[in-house]
Amino acid sequence: MIFSLAIWILALPLMMFLFLGLAGHKLKPATAGILGTAGLGVVALLSYTVAAVYFFGPSREGGLQPEVLFSFDWLHFTDQLQVKLGFLLDPISAMMLVVVSTVSFAVHLYSNGYMHGERGFQRFYAFLSLFTFSMMGLVVATNIFQMYIFWELVGVSSYLLIGFYYEKPSAILASKKAFIVTRFADLGFLIGILVLSYYAQTFDFITLTSLEGPVIGHPVGATFLGVSVLTWALVLIFMGGAGKSAMFPLHIWLPDAMEGPTPVSALIHAATMVVAGVYLVARLFPVYVLAAPDALMVVAYTGGFTALFAAVIACTQNDIKRVLAFSTMSQLGYMMLALGVSGYGGHDGLGFMASMFHLFTHAMFKALLFLGAGAIIHAVHSNFMTDMGGLRKHLPITHITFLLACLAIAGIPPLSGFFSKDEILVAAFHSNKLLFFVAYAVSGITAFYMFRLYYNIFWGVRREYPHPPHEAPLSMSLPLMILAAATIFAGFIPFAQLVTSDGQPFEIHTEWVVAVPAVLIGLTGILVATLMYKSEKTLPDRVAAFFGPLYRWASRKFYFDELYMFITKRILFNKVSSPVAWFDRHIVDGFMNLLAYLAQRSSFLIRGLQSGHIQGYVFVFVLGAVLLSAYMLLFVTL
């Protein structure tokens, strides 16, 4: 019954995209906005219903098993090789349906106000619908190939939306950068898919992850460079995930992606698309944890390093959206770390559960932060916190919701961030002490930079603004309030009963040894930020001077953009591409040009024969005939 309606979760955004994309320019902008929002509202309701029926319906007995709602052959090559499209419902995809539809709905609603009066308003809604369709398709993919298709589709919609202001050079550059970097990572993903499916003989997720399946049940013996091919495949697949989730060293596109409109940053670059990498690892989690623990170690350390690295950079940025972007990277690293330290089944799968839990809560409060940042930018017309200050009187609703989100990300109870972060810390505590301390440090730094942001925007010196800042319209503040409610209450969702590594519920208990210091560290971070930034002082400058080169490096993002430019431009372009291009242009093309030139010259030589004088032709003909007859007479004896 309700599951048969599930196809509309995919079909409705697609239809909306086609309709708004093809006929949008004939509609009034407001109509297009309302239409898009209403469509997404229906999708959200459907998603909630499907998720609720799945989690609390009759299938609950004996653990949550994956269910394929429908599936059809899309490409049928041979009986072994076929690509299907379908709709897979299991705990994580049901959870992601809720996340994507909630954030997407909030963003659709919010954009009615934020994008009001922009050129291409209808186009914006069309792209948002395309993105929602692609993300939903990715989430419910029944096989890794379907996931790859939708994976590229979200990449395209991200590209289109980052480059929405296509007349702004920086936006164009950012969109190209995002596309190329993630595309490069997807090359690894594709190779990983091919290797994995070659050995597993299937694309299907359920078969891949089943404990008796071809991958986990009968591990592949083949090795490459001394490492099992399965590990290679999973590390390559993780490379794709790392590209989408902006893990070090493929993170460079995410800060630049902030050139897109702020609602886009909230939807794609904070809450949904960037978690696709985490989701991918979670989707193949049994394979990682049971068949290739080495690959899982790579995931854990990449996540841990990125979390720390991005958090340090976030402390030094002045563009509020970039602070949030680095914070997103850092939190994604947290989720990866949690997956990396997790075991399989029951309480051992705590890290898996914690990662998904954090994904859920993070989506809510980070979308809230971005939408809040959008409201602030809308009011102040600047992205830089140096242009802000003392806004708490002007933007009361934004202020309160932003504060809630900051407290949540800092891990202060009873907000949602506390619960999910605490589970991650517990999981790390029980498996890897090094990563545990990294996670502790990151949580302190996170609290510090979030409150640095908060104080610089809402407190500090009161500036004179060219226009007095005003609170956002209802269409913008309503999504803020919805997400704030989600931020407050999401922590009480019993995730351990719902989303676990093997579908079996388990009991969690708060470990005070871990939780209390975590909260204290968060509070310390907040306290330091309060001392430094609550009122304008010289202290921040002195601290920056104290850290000296470290501060300078961090504020320049550790020169990674410059390093990549050096590698691509100086080494790849100059030393590899240019000689190859020269060879192609001069040797390969030159040979072809030579052939054409020779043919042309020789035809010039003989074209005089075609004189048009019939008598000339006759003369040659007769001459030929005479010569031929003479030859026959003299040399051929009949």
Partner 1 sequence: MDVPVHFFLMLSAAMFFIGVFGFIIRRNMITLLMAVELMLNAVNINFVVFNRFLYPDYFEGFFFALFAIAIAAAETSVAIAIIINVYRKIRSIEADDVAEMKH
- When binding is defined by CB under 8 A, the residue of 612, 635, 636, 637 that contacts partner 1 is 612
- When binding is defined by CB under 8 A, the residue of 4, 78, 538, 610 that contacts partner 1 is 610
State how far the Cα of 448 lies from the Cα of 529, in Å rounded to an integer: 5
Cβ pair 327, 373 in contact under 8 A: no
- For the chain, the distance separating the N- and C-terminal CA atoms, rounded to the nearest angstrom, is 95
Instruction: Please identify, using beta-carbon distances, which residue of 58 and 608 lies nearer to partner 1.
Output: 608
Q: How many CA atoms lie within 13 A of 261 on its CB side?
A: 27
Q: What are the structure tokens assigned to 489, written together? A: 């209450």
Does 601 contact partner 1 by CB under 8 A?
no
Segment contacting partner 1 by CB under 8 A, of 97-105, 483-491, 530-538, 614-622: 614-622
- When binding is defined by CB under 8 A, the residue of 166, 591, 619, 631 that contacts partner 1 is 619
Distance in Å, CB of 633 to partner 1, minimum: 14
Instruction: Please identify, using beta-carbon distances, which residue of 4 and 615 lies nearer to partner 1.
Output: 615
- When binding is defined by CB under 8 A, the residue of 117, 587, 613, 637 that contacts partner 1 is 613
Instruction: Please identify, using beta-carbon distances, which residue of 581 and 630 lies nearer to partner 1.
Output: 630
Q: Which of residues 381-440 bind partner 1 (CB under 8 A)?
A: none
- When binding is defined by CB under 8 A, the residue of 194, 434, 572, 622 that contacts partner 1 is 622
Distance in Å, CB of 598 to partner 1, minimum: 19
- Residue 346, classified by CB atoms within 10 Å of its CB into exposed (0-12), middle (13-18) or buried (19+), is middle
The backbone torsions φ and ψ at residue 447, rounded to the nearest 5 degrees and listed phi first, read -60, -40
Instruction: Please identify, using beta-carbon distances, which residue of 30 and 626 lies nearer to partner 1.
Output: 626
**Residues whose CB falls within 8 Å of the CB of residue 164, separated by 6 or more in sequence, listed in order:** 120, 123, 124, 127, 171, 260, 261, 264
CA torsion angle 316 322 323 325 (round to 10): -130
Nearest residue to 267 via CA among 358, 176, 171, 133: 133
Distance in Å, CB of 636 to partner 1, minimum: 21
Size of site (CB under 8 A) for partner 1: 11
What single letter denotes the amino acid at residue 508? I
Does 23 contact partner 1 by CB under 8 A?
no
Distance in Å, CB of 627 to partner 1, minimum: 14
The backbone torsions φ and ψ at residue 27, rounded to the nearest 5 degrees and listed phi first, read -85, 160
Distance in Å, CB of 165 to partner 1, minimum: 58
Instruction: Please identify, using beta-carbon distances, which residue of 78 and 615 lies nearer to partner 1.
Output: 615
Instruction: Please identify, using beta-carbon distances, which residue of 538 and 603 lies nearer to partner 1.
Output: 603
CA 220-222-223 angle, 5° bins: 125
Instruction: Please identify, using beta-carbon distances, which residue of 615 and 637 lies nearer to partner 1.
Output: 615
Segment contacting partner 1 by CB under 8 A, of 415-423, 432-440, 461-469, 613-621: 613-621
Q: Which of residues 292-321 bind partner 1 (CB under 8 A)?
A: none
Distance in Å, CB of 616 to partner 1, minimum: 8
Instruction: Please identify, using beta-carbon distances, which residue of 509 and 607 lies nearer to partner 1.
Output: 607
Segment contacting partner 1 by CB under 8 A, of 88-96, 381-389, 561-569, 606-614: 606-614
For the chain, how are helix, strand and coil distributed in percent, rounded to 5? Answer: 75, 5, 20
Residue 202's region, left for phi above 0, alpha for psi from -120 to 50, else beta, is beta
> Which 3 state secondary structure label does DSSP give 272?
coil
Does 615 contact partner 1 by CB under 8 A?
yes
- When binding is defined by CB under 8 A, the residue of 26, 509, 575, 607 that contacts partner 1 is 607
Does 627 contact partner 1 by CB under 8 A?
no
Residue listed under structure tokens 């609550």? 534
Q: What are the structure tokens assigned to 440, written together? A: 């502790």
Segment contacting partner 1 by CB under 8 A, of 172-180, 290-298, 563-571, 616-624: 616-624
Residue 159 neighbours by CB distance under 10 Å? 21
Instruction: Please identify, using beta-carbon distances, which residue of 80 and 615 lies nearer to partner 1.
Output: 615
Does 605 contact partner 1 by CB under 8 A?
no
Q: What are the structure tokens assigned to 414, written together? A: 């009873």
Q: CA dist 293 to 157, 342, 614, Å?
A: 34, 10, 87
Segment contacting partner 1 by CB under 8 A, of 35-43, 384-392, 501-509, 602-610: 602-610
Does 614 contact partner 1 by CB under 8 A?
yes
Does 608 contact partner 1 by CB under 8 A?
yes
State how far the Cα of 302 lies from the Cα of 304, in Å rounded to an integer: 6
Q: Helix crossing, 474-489 with 396-410: angle to 10°?
A: 30
Q: Are strands 67-76 and 82-89 parallel, antiparallel or unpaired?
A: antiparallel
Q: What are the structure tokens assigned to 231, written together? A: 């590990």
Residues in the site for partner 1, rule: CB under 8 A?
Answer: 607-608, 610-615, 618-619, 622
